[in-house]
Structure 1
Amino acid sequence: MLLEQIGMRVPVVQAPMAGITTPALAAAVAHAGGLGSLGVAAMDAARARQEVRAVRAATSARFNVNVFCHQPPRRDAGRESAWLDGLANDFARFDAAVPETLADGYRSFLLDDAMLRMLVEERPGVVSFHFGLPAAAQIGALRDSGAILLGSATSLADALKIRAAGLDGIVAQGWQAGGHRGVFDENGPDERLETRELLAALSGVGLPLIAAGGIMARADVQAAMDAGAVAAQCGTAFLMAEEAGTTAPHRQALASGKTRMTRAISGRPARGVENIISRRDDSAAPDYPLPYSALKALHGAASAAGETGYGPFWAGTGCAEARPGTAAEILGRLVP
């Protein structure tokens, strides 16, 4: 059983939310018997190593490190210039200058030899992949280090690729899930299957399934397991944790309960709290992660003026149900 391999005592995975998860959060969940996770997509290998070591200093349990396996963006100067022009009025509201260019600030694991080396050396115990899969040589190196490997799938086609790559389990990410949608091809067809439907679609793949999306309470975890999952991955439920890096405006925004899937923030479909930026037409958004650089500058300028409606406040469909507490307390509310 996957849970026994990992050493989990309870069937709950804390989602690896890049920018939100902290070593304290991951360690607290791992220490309490779940699978704690770090999202290191926005970090370089040196910073990620510090985070991994901070978790290891707080717990002897295995924990998960999540990396993004996206293809590098295709640069299109005209498209990028038009996107920046479309933000000009927003920047002008706060007397801020529009950036001259869009920057690629998220290095894909596919190209990050230093991150692979760090994971092989530090051995967190579990490594998970989002947006696709690494090269066979990368998978082999992680496997040789003793890592348990998980891949995120939103469709049967992607789940079959995960199985063919020899991974140990699948995070079945339903349409309700907050944060970035884990589609391998962001421009391909998307059936938008909700979590229960996705579990049914993946039931014959033959790998352990971890359900993700819309899981906010004990009953949701139990329902996922009744539908064939071995565990549930919860992100939004942990956004209000004392140990989480969630900002005060982000915590406050969850109460609205309104979320939206959009490319307007990063260039890839992602679900967050509905606000000024997520309601923008995203049909002409440049490739991931290029829009992020402008959005972060805009959010910074707006926040300084007291306007938080440009925040990338990732959250799933049940965000209004998130309740404060320590990570251990929140985990306790989720365990069937």
Structure 2
Amino acid sequence: MTLIERLGLRLPLIQAPMAGTSTPLLAAQVCEAGGLGSIAVGATDAAGARAMIAQLRALTARPFNVNLFVHPTPTADPVREAGWTDWLRSLFVEFGAEPPQALQSPYTSFLDDAAMLAMLLEEAPPVVSFHFGLPGADAIAALRERGVLLLATATNLEEARAVEAAGIDAVVAQGIEAGGHRGMFDPAAPDPQLGTMVLTRLLAREVALPVIAAGGIMDGAGIAAALDLGAVAAQLGTAFVGCPESAADDAYRAALAGPGAWHTTLTSRVSGRPARALANRFTALESDLAVPDYPIAYHAGKALNAAAKAKGEHGYGAQWAGQGAPLARAMPAAELVAVLEQELAAARA
């Protein structure tokens, strides 16, 4: 049985989990339309994740995906963090605010969150996916015992082989074009920055797992290209940001439709990890200072964005988007899935 058959999908499409942007309603609409909807719970705790799963299950009986952050436990460095907040201080002052006195990690890694694992084992969502790395063998075995299908992101062949060796069911091949955070296991390691199509073909040839292509894919023709290169499905994120069911605010939606969409850029300054975003005032900042560990740096980034938004400036938000952003279409999620299905059929006719 193929991955698509196991999930009962009509369309080989996964709506990417986007923390802070994807919602249970968005995921449910995609599920009901024939794709695999996703929620991202890495930015909440076990109780918050359980509530999101409950909301999603109230909206659909179809399979869905729950995504976790599996980043290494951040190392606090008060000197580096103080230097970072001092560098940002003038921007806070511009908006009548002060930077946080001490930076804290706003997210707990799944590696350190026993309550999250316990909740997932109780709820047994149909699919669980991992970003930034892999959990321990015991957690993987426990989830598999509960019948959960497991996915994990890889940005290169070495990571994909680790995913395969860990007993994960499928690998998400995240190309350099992808919006949001690079799923690389070690952000300090050399990054070959492989494009989606190259990475998809490489993994389809070199690992035995089903490959899901992710990064820069915005329409049915892109899905067809990924399938032709050996992927079993495509994962689209930026394509769904403009849907009314997403949690993107008005400024994010306007930026996605504006000139910044043509100039996405990778930056570590927002959160402490490389992530692709729409060009804005935050991505334009330049500094030679060492960025605090992810997600400690995010504490400063979120605080600066909040201070700026309070004064009507929206250029410091984490407006994540892939290189396909100019191809974005603002329409209800179910309508978008239907259009993607039509485009895929036309491309493969």
TM-score class normalised by the smaller sequence: over 0.9
Q: Which amino acid aligns with 1:121?
A: E
- What is residue 242 of structure 1 aligned with on the other side? 244
SS of corresponding position for 2:177 = coil
Contact residue 6 and residue 148 of structure 1 kept, 8 A: no
Task: Look up the match of 1:103.
Answer: 104
State the AA in 2 paired with 1:318: G
1:126 alignment counterpart: 127
How far does residue 281 in structure 1 lie from its aligned partner after superposition? Answer: 2.8
- SS of the residue corresponding to residue 202 of structure 1 reads helix
Shift of 1:333: 2.1
Aligned to 1:209: 211
**Structure 1's 223 and 161: CA in aligned 2 closer, same or farther, altered over 3 A?**
same
Q: Which amino acid in the other structure matches residue 156 of structure 1? A: L
| Residue pair 1:263, 1:282 contacting (<8 A) in 2 also | no
Return the alpha-carbon distance in structure 2 between the equivalents of residues 80 and 200 of structure 1: 40
Q: Measure the CA separation in 1 of the matches of 2:332 and 2:89.
A: 41
1-side partners of 2:156 and 2:27: how far apart? 27
- Secondary structure at the aligned position of 1:50 is classed as helix
Measure, in 2, the Cα distance between the counterparts of 1:31 and 1:282.
46
Task: Report the Cα distance in structure 1 between the residues aligned to 2:287 and 2:48, rounded to whole angstroms.
Answer: 32
State the match for 1:261 in structure 2.
266
Please report the TM-score for the alignment, with normalisation by the length of structure 2: 0.95
Matched, 1:292 2:294: no
**Residue-by-residue CA offset, 1:138-175 (whole Å, 9 max, x unaligned):** 00111011100001000000000000001110000000
Tell me the SS of whatever aligns to 1:311: coil
SS in structure 1 opposite 2:139? helix
- 2-side partners of 1:103 and 1:324: how far apart? 36
SS of residue paired to 2:190? coil
Q: What is the rounded CA distance, in whole Å, between the counterparts of 1:80 and 1:205 in structure 2?
A: 40
Matches within 5 A, 1:59-208: 59-203=60-204, 204-208=206-210
Q: TM-score if structure 1 supplies the norm length?
A: 0.98
Q: Shift of residue 72 of structure 1?
A: 1.0
Letter in 1 for 2:217: I
Q: Is the 8 A contact 1:109 1:116 kept in 2?
A: yes
Q: Which runs of 4+ in 1 moved over 3 A?
A: none
3-state SS of paired residue (1:27): helix
The separation in 2 between residues aligned to 1:228 and 1:200, in whole angstroms, is 6
Superposed, which structure 2 residues align to 1:270-281 within 5 Å? Answer: 270-281=275-286
1:102 to partner: Cα distance: 0.8
Unaligned runs of 5+ in 1: none
Number of residue-to-residue matches in the alignment: 336
User: How far did 1:238 drift?
Assistant: 0.2
In the TM superposition, residue 282 of structure 1 has moved relative to its aligned partner by: 5.6
Partner of 2:318: 312
* Counterpart contact for 1:70–1:132, Cα < 8 Å: yes
* Higher deviation after alignment, 81-90 or 279-288: 279-288
Alignment identity in percent? Answer: 51
Instruction: Note the aligned Cα RMSD (angstroms).
Output: 0.9
Counterparts of 1:228 and 1:87, CA distance in 2: 45
